[in-house]
Amino acid sequence: MLVSAADPFHLLGLWDFYAALRYQGKAVELEFIRSGAHNLTQPLHRIAHQELIVDWCDFWLNGNEGSDPGKVDQYRRWRTMRGDD
List Cβ neighbours of 5 (8 Å cut-off, separation of 6 or more): 11, 13, 14, 30, 31, 32, 33
Determine the pLDDT at residue 33.
84
**Calpha distance 76→65 (Å, rounded):** 10
38 confidence band (pLDDT: 50, 70, 90): low
37 confidence band (pLDDT: 50, 70, 90): low
7 confidence band (pLDDT: 50, 70, 90): confident
45 confidence band (pLDDT: 50, 70, 90): confident
Q: Domain total for the chain?
A: 1
**Where in the sequence is the domain holding 33, given as residue range(s)?**
2-82
Q: What is the mean pLDDT of residues 19-32?
A: 95
